[in-house]
Structure 1
């Protein structure tokens, strides 16, 4: 028998919302549940943009937790899963030691219906053939307005739910009746926008411990830094391997609906032949404000000679790895190594290098500009490929500066014809804006800044060679410049 069409985005949450004390899926049913879903997940999971293990088969899945956010006996049901995808490991680097990294853990939100309406056909994962969900359709729950609304309700009324815990800022007002929609274009996570009021980021690939995308905005809010949207609510999942290191699963923040993405804004200025120095100067000021607030909110430290030498060694190792993968780098490798050698010499000749918590992946796409010309900084998750431990490690602020300088260069190179003077003016204006707030111009630390910009360019070459070969010329131009200066 067919089911009635899906509720419209404005359909209110059904009255029969399960209590927040609803239990997780019983252990005796977990193995049968996962076994019944595994054939579908083997096909569906590797196709998702946020799946990190592309190019390697999934040998098996293991279940970390399973929680019914909406009873599976109803239709629709909402099943929350944390699953590990076990894949064959690539060969470890020569001379490496230690156990291989654990299998990646992913967060899945699965809708369950006896029959899927036409409006949700594109979200279908598959039909379960056996087990406790036999005969049911399983689909991506975020595409279902009814289930997406339920998720916001969970955040509006905090508390435990099985192995999950929902938290909310005490003074935050999370309204009901906000129409949900999926926000496209993301790769490492998924997001829902509620009525142009809130945005909920769902972290897909999980690491134990506080996610910087929650930790740092909370710290900045306590310092009164208005450059970062303040967290409204969030939820976490228990980590059976370490109860003190739960998984950060989702983060609700205000949605800056009238703000313009910095990357798109820069490209429009380039296409129109307009200058971008005022915007770059203001962005430099915003970056410095964030760094100043982070230094006040969280511990800072000084990198002594051993730590700075280790930093240079790590950069050199990444260059060696990239040269093996991208032979086009080989002629420039000696010149690029000079940047890292200069950093190594700096550790013995100059004062200790200051380090603090930073954004970790700063570029034009991580900045939003409102109608008043003010910038906000978003997405403090850091580079998703790195562990939480690495992303939470204090680092010199020039790492963020170097990332933004490379982003100006990317924008200028993307535009045709190439406009190198545009990028140079933006780079100078950004550093001047940064100095106006911090009191220190990043260009007064040339060895450190050049090393970080070189390291970033090497990373970009490796990324483009693997994922976007047509873009390889963009970072290679920077490599040529950095290797000969």
Structure 2
């Protein structure tokens, strides 16, 4: 009998329902005796781990399921304020989805995925690794999605009208991102969310709703996996993979390197963005499910300004370089109370930039509707001004232009103008005529970028800081 067979009883640990994603049951503490030390070292090194700026002092196991012999599915709570007893108030922290391979002797090809060897607890003597690097795990995951069913609290579901063939060769994408993605046979892509929050993830909810609207700008989900314990939450989504597509970021950098103009592409992208916004407004009427409670509605500018000012204060506290510019930046937010409130609030993308769009042939597609993973799921599913998405894309053109020396501000300016013109052609209103609103959202986005780069990519910090200086001094 293989040693991993002793892990089979782990499924019974899920018999007791848990109150929330941050209240681990005491019955799940024993497996963490094997894993906690290794995970404390490994988690902060992962691109998708959000707690890099604070020590991982506590880890709690929320659920564990053996998907198949030698592969464990875990939901782990990472915090710095202790793990409470069941029923206690949840501590600060996050919930993460992990798929761990557990073997006595992993194959040499898995060397880069190794987490470490276990020396104590029920897994003592075994080696643990990130199972997404294992082709066997990837194949079995796809089989689970092709044949819907349950595994402990996990539910594998699929759209029966969109069959997925078997035998597709998997590969793990190694690009920097906040989740993990597997491509199968260059036909489908499975995105597994790493940071888990209770509720339906927008990256499943929105593309399904847009497909019903007949919107062809967004790939349609064909299968997905969710959990029912500790609470209902989306864990992953399988969608068609656009094999011949290039992402907008790569296309923009290639144009810059070749000295080419990018305004035609930017104009078409603006039109595509407007089409998606129009479809979103129809799919999620304000006041309907998932379409209310957000900021950006007329008369709500005071609350928007307060939220932006609060985020600026928090960012300035964490990043000292931001502090000298804070007074000038606050003027952009204060002006919200007297500027044109712009179009009505609606569901939006929430984290739109050149890396979230794909171009295949002459068509642009919009992907990754998860929103900013650092923000609460309820906020990401609520209504906001579409100007927020527009500001994100305008910032992305600036990011691209600053990847080469000398910096080409005119390239970014022309792209921004073309994008807004394209948007206006399809939406019926021009973002450039909402100057106060656009400036506030672009400033809010730049503040977010400063905090993000300071935490994850310090070498990139000068890029958003240049925008901060521009927005604080000139306000354009």
DSSP 3-state at the match of 1:355? coil
Q: What per-residue deviation string (whole Å, max 9, x for no partner) do you get for residues 137-178 of structure 1?
A: 222111111111000000001122211001101211111111
For 1:23 and 1:298, locate their aligned partners in 2 and report how far apart those are by CA, in whole Å: 43
**Alignment TM-score, normalising by the size of structure 2:** 0.87
The offset of 1:234, in angstroms, is 0.5
1:168 maps to what in 2? 158
The offset of 1:101, in angstroms, is 5.3
2:383 maps to what in 1? 394
DSSP 3-state at the match of 1:26? helix
2:440 maps to what in 1? 451
Aligned ranges for residues 60-75 of structure 1 at < 5 Å? 60-71=58-69
DSSP 3-state at the match of 2:300? helix
1:334 maps to what in 2? 327
Q: Which has the higher mean CA deviation after the structures are superposed, 472-481 or 251-260?
A: 472-481
Instruction: Extract unaligned runs of 5+ from structure 2.
Output: 15-26, 83-88, 288-294
Q: Which has the higher mean CA deviation after the structures are superposed, 283-292 or 28-37?
A: 28-37
* Aligned pair partner of 2:50 in 40, 49, 52: 52
1:74 maps to what in 2? none
- Is the contact made by 1:211 and 1:388 (CA closer than 8 Å) also made in structure 2? yes
Q: What per-residue deviation string (whole Å, max 9, x for no partner) do you get for residues 336-358 of structure 1?
A: 22221221123xxx567510111
DSSP 3-state at the match of 1:167? strand
Q: What per-residue deviation string (whole Å, max 9, x for no partner) do you get for residues 425-466 of structure 1?
A: 111110111111111111121111111011112222333344
Say whether residues 1:319 and 2:312 are aligned partners.
yes
1:129 maps to what in 2? 119
Aligned ranges for residues 49-448 of structure 1 at < 5 Å? 49-71=47-69, 77-88=70-81, 102-240=92-230, 242=231, 246-300=232-286, 307-346=300-339, 354-370=344-360, 372-448=361-437
1:40 maps to what in 2? 38
For 1:462 and 1:389, locate their aligned partners in 2 and report how far apart those are by CA, in whole Å: 22
Instruction: Extract unaligned runs of 5+ from structure 1.
Output: 4-17, 72-76, 90-98
- Is the contact made by 2:301 and 2:341 (CA closer than 8 Å) also made in structure 1? no
1:14 maps to what in 2? none
For 2:152 and 2:442, locate their aligned partners in 1 and report how far apart those are by CA, in whole Å: 46
DSSP 3-state at the match of 1:286? helix
Change (3 A) 1:104 1:320: closer
Say whether residues 1:468 and 2:457 are aligned partners.
yes
Q: What per-residue deviation string (whole Å, max 9, x for no partner) do you get for residues 15-67 of structure 1?
A: xxx9xxx9862229844323222232222222222111124332332221111
- Is the contact made by 1:24 and 1:162 (CA closer than 8 Å) also made in structure 2? no
- Is the contact made by 1:154 and 1:166 (CA closer than 8 Å) also made in structure 2? yes
Change (3 A) 1:468 1:65: closer
Change (3 A) 1:160 1:406: same
DSSP 3-state at the match of 2:116? strand
The offset of 1:275, in angstroms, is 0.3
Change (3 A) 1:308 1:143: same
For 2:430 and 2:261, locate their aligned partners in 1 and report how far apart those are by CA, in whole Å: 22
Change (3 A) 1:225 1:352: closer
For 1:46 and 1:322, locate their aligned partners in 2 and report how far apart those are by CA, in whole Å: 21
The offset of 1:331, in angstroms, is 4.3
Q: Which has the higher mean CA deviation after the structures are superposed, 52-61 or 391-400?
A: 52-61
Change (3 A) 1:101 1:383: farther
1:27 maps to what in 2? 13
DSSP 3-state at the match of 1:65? strand
Change (3 A) 1:322 1:33: closer
The offset of 1:303, in angstroms, is 5.1
Change (3 A) 1:212 1:369: same
- Is the contact made by 2:342 and 2:434 (CA closer than 8 Å) also made in structure 1? no
Change (3 A) 1:471 1:121: closer
Residue-pair matches, total:
445
DSSP 3-state at the match of 1:110? strand
Change (3 A) 1:340 1:154: same
**Alignment TM-score, normalising by the size of structure 1:** 0.86
The offset of 1:306, in angstroms, is 5.7
- Is the contact made by 1:129 and 1:135 (CA closer than 8 Å) also made in structure 2? yes
1:12 maps to what in 2? none
